[in-house]
Chain A
Amino acid sequence: MGLNKIIGQKALVSQLKKILSEGRLGHAYAFSGPEGIGKHTVALEFAHEILCPFGKPDSCGCVSCRTFAEGTNPDFYEVITDKSSIGIDTIRALQEHVANRPAYGHKKVYFIDGADMMTVQAQNCLLKTLEEPPEYAVIILSAVNYEALLPTIRSRTVNFRMEPYSEDEIRRIVMPLAPKNKNELDFYVKFSRGIPGKAVRMLEESSFRDLRDQIIGLLKKPGDFSQMEKVRKILNENKDDFTEIIDIIMSVYRDCLMVLMGIENGLINSDKKDIIKEIASACSKRKLMDRLAALENMQRNFRYNINYQLGIDVLLLEIQEV
Chain B
Amino acid sequence: MNHQALYRKYRPKTFDDVVEQQHVVTTLKNTVISGKPAHAYLFCGTRGTGKTTMAKILARAVNCLNPKDGNPCNVCDICTGILNGTILDVIEMDAASNNSVDNVRDIIDEMVYTPSQAAYKVYIIDEVHMLSSGAFNALLKTLEEPPSHVLFILATTEPHKLPATVLSRCQRFDFHRISTNGIMERLLLIAKEAGVTLTGEAAHFLASLAEGALRDGISLLDQCISTGRNPLDLKCVYDVLGIARSELVLAAADCLIGRDEKKAVQTIERLYSEGKDLAQFLQSIIRLFRDILVYKTSGSLDNILSAGEKEKEQIPRLAKELSMTEALSIIKELSDLEAGMKWSSNPRILTEMTFLRVCTRELGREDDSLSDRIRLLEDRIRHLEDNIKIKTENYRHEIYKQEQGEEKKADDFPAAEPFKEGSFAEWDSVLNELRSAGKMTLFTSLAGTDAVWIDKNTIGIVIPEEEAFRKRVIEKAENLEAIENAVESSRGQRLNVRIIPAKKNDKNENNADIPDTVLDFVKKNGIKLDIVDE
Bound state CA distance, A157 and B362, in angstroms? 44
In Å, the complex CA distance between A250 and B345 comes to 11
Complex Cα distance, B48 from A22, in Å, reads 27
**Residues of chain A in range 88-118 having any CB-CB distance to chain B below 8 Å:** 88, 91-92, 95, 106
Residues of B near A121 (CB, < 8 A) are 96, 130
Distance in Å: Cβ of B499 to nearest Cβ of chain A: 51
Task: Assess the B5–A26 pair: CB atoms within 8 A.
Answer: yes
Residue of B nearest to A147 (CB): B342
CA distance A163 to B127 in the complex (A): 33
- Stretch binding the partner chain, chosen from B134-142, B295-303, B351-359, B448-456: B351-359
Q: How far is the CB of B134 from chain A (nearest CB, A)?
A: 15
B174 at the interface (CB under 8 A from A): no
Given A24-B3, A152-B157, A292-B353, CB of A158 within 8 Å of CB of B279: no
A158 & B223 in contact (Cβ 8 Å cutoff): yes
| B101 at the A interface (CB under 8 A) | no
Instruction: Please give, as numbers and ranges, the residues of chain B lying within 8 Å of A147 by CB-CB distance.
Output: 279, 342
Beta-carbon contact of A303 and B343 below 8 Å: yes
Identify the closest chain A residue to B211 (Cβ): A151
Contacts A24-B226, A128-B94, A289-B363; is A163 near B265 (CB within 8 Å)?
Answer: no
Do B242 and A161 have beta carbons less than 8 Å apart? Answer: yes
**A residues less than 8 Å from B216 (CB atoms):** 154-155
Is residue B261 within 8 Å, beta carbon to beta carbon, of the partner chain?
yes
Q: In the bound complex, do residue B219 and residue A156 qualify as a contact, i.e. CB atoms below 8 Å apart?
A: yes
* Chain A residues, CB < 8 A from B47: 151-152, 155
The stretch of B36-44, B267-275, B370-378, B505-513 that contacts the partner chain: B267-275
Q: Give bound CA distance, A24 to B2, whole Å.
A: 8
A-chain residues with CB within 8 Å of residue B342 when the two chains form the complex: 145, 147-148
Within 8 A of A (CB), among B266-323: 266, 269, 272-277, 279-280
List the one stretch of A202-210, A257-265, A306-314 in contact with chain B: A257-265
Q: How large is the interface on B (under 10, 10 to 19, 20 to 34, 35 or more residues)?
A: 35 or more
From B97, B99, B215, B239, contact of A156 by CB (8 A) = B215
**Contact: A158 with B157, CB < 8 Å?**
no
Once the chains are docked, how many angstroms separate the CA of A221 from the CA of B342?
Answer: 33
Most A CB contacts (10 A, CB to CB) among B99, B277, B348, B349 go to B349
Query: Known: A106-B1, A166-B275, A300-B344. Is A155-B353 also a contact (CB below 8 A)?
Result: no
In the assembled complex, which residues on chain B have CB atoms less than 8 Å from the CB atom of A145? 342
Residue in A92, A158, A160, A292 whose Cβ sees the most chain B Cβ within 10 Å? A158
Residues of A within 8 A of B126 (CB): 127-128
| B346 part of interface (Cβ distance < 8 Å) | yes
A159 contacts which chain B residues (CB < 8 A)?
223
A residues contacting the other copy or chain, number (CB 8 A): 66
B367, chain A: closest CB distance, angstroms: 16
Given A163-B275, A166-B273, residue A92 in contact with residue B97 (CB < 8 A): yes
Determine whether B8 belongs to the interface, using a CB cutoff of 8 Å to chain A.
Answer: yes
Q: Is the pair A299, B344 in contact by a Cβ cutoff of 8 Å?
A: yes
Q: Which among A25, A95, A132, A261 is the interface contact of B265 at CB below 8 angstroms?
A: A261
User: Contacts A155-B215, A156-B219, A266-B266 hold; do A167 and B363 have CB atoms under 8 A apart?
Assistant: no
A interface residues with partner B (beta carbon < 8 Å): 11, 15, 18-19, 22-28, 88, 91-92, 95, 106, 121, 124-129, 131-132, 135, 145, 147-148, 151-152, 154-161, 163-167, 193-194, 243, 247, 250-251, 254, 257-258, 261-263, 266, 285-286, 289, 292-293, 296, 299-300, 303
Q: Which residues of B contact A (CB under 8 A)?
A: 1-5, 7-8, 46-48, 52, 92, 94, 96-97, 99, 126-127, 129-130, 157, 213, 215-216, 219, 222-223, 225-228, 239, 241-242, 261-262, 265-266, 269, 272-277, 279-280, 340, 342-346, 348-350, 352-353, 356-357, 360, 362-363, 365
Query: Which 4 pairs across A and B sit closest by C-beta, in order of nearness?
Result: A128-B94, A124-B96, A26-B5, A125-B97
4 other A-B residue contacts (CB within 8 Å) besides A151-B213, A299-B346: A127-B94, A194-B272, A262-B262, A296-B350
A and B contact pairs by CB, cutoff 8 A, 13 listed: A15-B228, A25-B1, A26-B4, A95-B97, A148-B342, A152-B47, A158-B5, A158-B222, A254-B353, A257-B352, A261-B356, A266-B265, A296-B344
